[in-house]
Homo-oligomer: A and B are copies of this chain.
């Protein structure tokens, strides 16, 4: 089975530089890459974008913008300005979309955070239109509701995107964050029917995780019904790449070449009939 329908996030192989990611993902046969901003520090994004294209990789997203919430209005304004810079960086890189981790501020209620997120995204719309770069709201798992995102379900993300209702604002759906939703199939359909199903991230959820952030599983190591969710994505008409995004101290400590081969094997074994 070909790996052309799979992309890898640079954070997945965090010990590697962007050049190493590009070279190794392409050699392994992956179809695409999503670039985390830390790998671009000190680099010309346009040159990095050309290098990705020359390697034959599709560039899915720049990761990540967002973090719109703050008690202090000046901090919220600064966050919006930072996101404008992210959009310009994405445009220079040639990334069609920016993934948004929307933010949450301890001490604020979920609805207060959500109102600030909506305000932040709406303030970006002129820059979105100018650059043509899409914004992809990524709902996060509720265990991050206090300090990373008040958008904690695909249901929430669909509601927010419907409120903003802009053709360049959609959703990045990560199975880690939303697999537990009882109406997930319906929410995927709803998202796709509205033309907002921008991106699809895969990894796995290990119930006895050792770290709330950096102990995510390689596909197959956990409990997410990956194949069923993939069937729902295909049925909803999603035809983009499935992006492997795994935060894992354990995997980052391993040989990254061997790890990338395990990722490739997991993609093949779990999703093989979709080839």
Query: Is A145 located at the chain interface by the 8 A CB criterion?
Result: yes
Query: Is A212 located at the chain interface by the 8 A CB criterion?
Result: yes
- Cβ contact within 8 Å between B144 and A142: no
A65-108 interface (Cβ within 8 A of B): 106-107
Shortest CB distance A233–B (Å):
15
Residue numbers in B under 8 Å from A223 (CB-CB):
106-107, 146-147
Query: Is A180 located at the chain interface by the 8 A CB criterion?
Result: yes
A148 and chain B: residue at smallest CB distance: B207
Measured between alpha carbons, how far is A150 from B141 in the docked complex, in Å?
A: 15
User: What is the 8 Å Cβ interface bit string for chain A, positions 104-130, against chain B (1 contact, 0 not)?
Assistant: 001101110010000000000000000
Residue numbers in B under 8 Å from A184 (CB-CB):
110
Determine which of B152, B207, B209 lies in contact with A180 in the assembled complex, contact meaning CB atoms within 8 Å: B152
A149 and chain B: residue at smallest CB distance: B180
Determine which of B106, B114, B207 lies in contact with A146 in the assembled complex, contact meaning CB atoms within 8 Å: B207
Residue numbers in B under 8 Å from A181 (CB-CB):
110
- Cβ contact within 8 Å between B180 and A145: yes
Determine which of B107, B150, B182, B212 lies in contact with A111 in the assembled complex, contact meaning CB atoms within 8 Å: B182
Q: How large is the interface on A (under 10, 10 to 19, 20 to 34, 35 or more residues)?
A: 20 to 34
Query: Is A228 located at the chain interface by the 8 A CB criterion?
Result: yes
- Cβ contact within 8 Å between A109 and B228: yes
Shortest CB distance A116–B (Å):
13
Query: Is A275 located at the chain interface by the 8 A CB criterion?
Result: no
Measured between alpha carbons, how far is A209 from B107 in the docked complex, in Å?
A: 18
- Cβ contact within 8 Å between B144 and A207: yes
- Cβ contact within 8 Å between A207 and B110: no
Measured between alpha carbons, how far is A55 from B216 in the docked complex, in Å?
A: 48
Measured between alpha carbons, how far is A152 from B205 in the docked complex, in Å?
A: 16
Beyond A106-B207, A106-B223, 13 extra complex contacts between A and B, CB < 8 Å:
A109-B228, A114-B182, A141-B143, A142-B180, A143-B143, A143-B207, A145-B179, A145-B180, A146-B205, A152-B182, A156-B182, A208-B212, A212-B212
